[in-house]
Homo-oligomer: A and B are copies of this chain.
Amino acid sequence: MQAEEGLRERLIRVGGELLDTEGPSGVSLREIARHAGVSHGAPRRYFPTHLELLSAIAREGFTDLATRVNSTLAGVAGDPRDRLAALARVYLDFAATRRGRYELMFRHDLLESGHLRLRDTSLPLFRLLTDLVAQARPEPEPPAQVVAGALWANLHGLVQLWNWGSLTLATGATDPGALLDATLTAHLGPAA
């Protein structure tokens, strides 16, 4: 049984669904309101501006991603390299299946990142990544933070270029798995 859902939660939910089905351009304030069954002015009570509604949806996306990562990692004990690979796969899968949300999450021009403390939800994820890198790569140089940054950038770029279709065209690959393996090997050394 679901707890009764207020308009605020409904707007976030409907907005997220619309984002995945219609893409970021189809998610106007009025369209979300229509799908939620309220007038176009109603969202204003909870989200003074379109930006803030979108930011709330993005925020929910980050917490959702964090939840998935954590629950996946709970099931992969042991070798930090394997855990890192699992994390990367969850990341790619999230970006593929919740594509609209993922795009929004990194469209900083649409987000009021500062005010809504969006980073509070993305920073723990990065810390987790850094910790795993430090465990998987005992060498002190370059620092784990730097490797983690490069690795994250690589994952993020992989997703972007893949979703855009550039990598399919350029490398002829049919799924990003091979590129993911190359990425992990490059940053962490060969798999055990």
Residues of chain A having any CB pair with chain B under 8 Å: 23-25, 103, 106, 108-109, 113, 119, 122-123, 126, 130, 142, 145-150, 152-158, 160-162, 164-167, 169-173, 178-179, 181-183, 185-187
Assess the B171–A149 pair: CB atoms within 8 A.
yes
Q: Which residues from chain B contact A167 at a C-beta distance below 8 Å? A: 149, 153
Q: Which residues from chain B contact A162 at a C-beta distance below 8 Å? A: 153
Q: Which residues from chain B contact A161 at a C-beta distance below 8 Å? A: 149, 152-153, 156
Assess the A145–B169 pair: CB atoms within 8 A.
no
Assess the A142–B178 pair: CB atoms within 8 A.
yes
How far, in angstroms, from A103 to B119 measured CA to CA in the complex? 21
Assess the B106–A160 pair: CB atoms within 8 A.
yes
Known contacts A158-B157, A186-B186; A149 and B173 CB within 8 A of each other: yes
